[in-house]
A and B are shown apart, each in its own frame.
Chain A
Amino acid sequence: MATMTLNDYLQRVQGTLYHQNGEVLSDLISFRDPHVMSSRLMVEKPERDVERCVDPSIAEVIAGHLRAVWAIAERNRVEAWRIQMVVVQAVSRFMTECKEENWMLPVMYTACLDLRLFALGADEDLTKTGAKKPGETLEKAAEALMSCFRVCAADTRTGEDCTKRWGLLYLVNQFFKIYFKINKLNLCKPMIRAIEALSFKDRFSLSQLITYKYYTGRKDMFDSDFKSADATLSFAFQRCHRRSRKNKRRILIYLIPVKMLRGYLPKTSLLERYNLGELSGIVGAVRTGNVRQLSETLVKHEAFFISAGIYLILEKLKVLAFRNLFKKVYLLSGTHQIDVAMFVQSLAWMQVEDVDVEETECILANMINDGRIKGYLSHAHCKLVVSKKDAFPPLTASFC
């Protein structure tokens, strides 16, 4: 394959077109196939040769692909990205011409994936030189993908067997990857609406479903909808193949903070198995109510948490650490009327900066408001009066 001649290649393309073999044709335009290593296919202007051998409906796609192979050989990622944009537009036109058929969907998948990967590379190159703002190439790639999205979404009148709407989930996943990269999560909403409107949304391939659930779970997490985030991320984690350790680890990075906010702490064996040592300090601190350790761990692994985007959610776990600390104070005091000064002392011992009685009352009032403590505060007597039965209900019971 790495020494394939141009004629050989074009004949194969024509053959797949004749037999409507989408999988093989997708390999022939994929940059993960060995044919891209062949020097005989690195042609700067292949249009004439292609038009001679290949059907005109797909000639533009093949010519563009060969030009992109040449551009990659020249190590020009920006040019490859520009050419791939043209290839994707050509693929969407090809799909429009083929009515009531969906055998070419793998071709669309491959072209879109290569476009996103080239856009990432071009973004790096252009940002280094300062020619463009970061994320611009990805935004333009998203616009090109939108043309394919419209073609697939508009195919409503064909039967389920041959509708192009089966390609929507793959495209939506590509959009998610772009929007999360450029930090424009608000653009994900129409995509999610389009998928939820499909009648066969649960019959897509498992890999695509897991990717979809992973990104929607992350989006729910950023929207503070932790119940929904828990459900979707748990689905993704449980259904993900156990050999895909990297993917499982990625899911866990978001699933663990969400679960912790809902009151479920992970075992240390799980954190060790998936190499999540950064989170073990957090889990230990929340479990024991050690606010100081929680703050120190947040500072220590700040870079990791910020790059993963979970720093703010881990800040919210401070409330749980306070709750566990205050429960210990309550158990030590032995009464159901506890002086607020004892809570102030416990916070001062945990080196919480500048804490006073009023701030401690504020934290306690928040816990009562959230249902984490059953009782009330007496400002005049400076005491917390808790219920004699179940003063600190289990964390899993309280809403968040």
Chain B
Amino acid sequence: MSLQRICKNGRLFMRVLMRNKPEKKVTYEQVMFLHSFLPQKIIISTSSNIHDNLALEDWLYEHSDLRTPVLLLWRSSPCVVFGRHQNPWTECNVPFCEQNGIVLARRKSGGGTVYHDEGNLNCSFLTERKIYDRRRNLQLVVNALQQRWNLPLSINDRDDILLYQQYKVSGSAAKLARCKSYHHFTILCSVDKLRLTSILNTHLTGVSSKATPSVKMAVANLAEHVPGLGSLDVQHAITEHVLANNEAATVSYADALDETQYPGLAALRAEISSWEWTFAKTPPFTINRRLSPTERGNALIDISIKVRQGLICEAELQVLQCSGAHPQWFLTLKNGIQGVKFDKESVINALSGVKSQWINEDLYGSQQADFLDWLLLAVMQTTGVANSSLDHQLFMSA
């Protein structure tokens, strides 16, 4: 083997070796030198509606010249935001959110599910793809907060910002395209943690799915270290820090409803707030449950519901044990829910339709009524689209 080839192979080998080394951490000093990576345009949204703000972010991503890096800041009224490939029904209590006016939204970036309220600040760094660097963005914010309030913050391997090296105060997600990118993250300033914990818990069980699951961690608010600290204070701190370090930076306020300034934004908003995007984009999943009424001790029924693109594409009922059962009950039920849209109204209507059909076919006698009512309720509970006692009462009286 010639010396030339040895050297060429050696260099290539070393390059391969170096490529597999862990990413170098960017220090703040390096960030300071990389002046062109600092945001040039700080845009603060005046809307507190999550769909408005996700649409605005999308608009800036599609239409802005990101050679000028942008930092978009916004705060939302109570909402749950899940990642591009997540299942909202396994990530949060969907019926509770729908009943209590908590908006549900699917974002276009990856990552896990978060709860927002006015105590949370969202930061989105929109840049060219070649300067995409999550740690650099997080380091900038950490330094802004540490300089103002001396907060004991650190960044872990998952690009979460931690308080006391233990409690998560920020979670990141990103979207990457050919030439552009955005990295956005939450900052928990004074969020209602009790509400967060109860909402980000699902009652749905028996689900198998390829959807990306959230990684749950203990969370904390910055206000636990600096009493009275709010998201507006943090917004000011970050803005002032960027302005102090980048004399070319500008701040402006964005009205997400201004179609003149943002032509096409309304269409983006319509897409992001649509049921098709929010729910039908959920990766296919199957719910398997074994049903057994306590009053009818011998009955044992396995139910399997497969949901794809927001529809119940398959429903199977396997009766393992049920004395006196009429096969037509289960056939009518299976056919009645197959093809139905996977939401509360559609499922309740479908099950009510099944009950009507049983009555019309003389299958719903006084002796079977209790069992059949229980069966319909059990199927509704299995789907998880409606699980409050109010929903059940409405259903039973339908």
* A interacts with B: no
Which A residues have a C-beta under 8 Å from some C-beta of B?
A: none
Which B residues lie at the A interface, using CB under 8 A? none
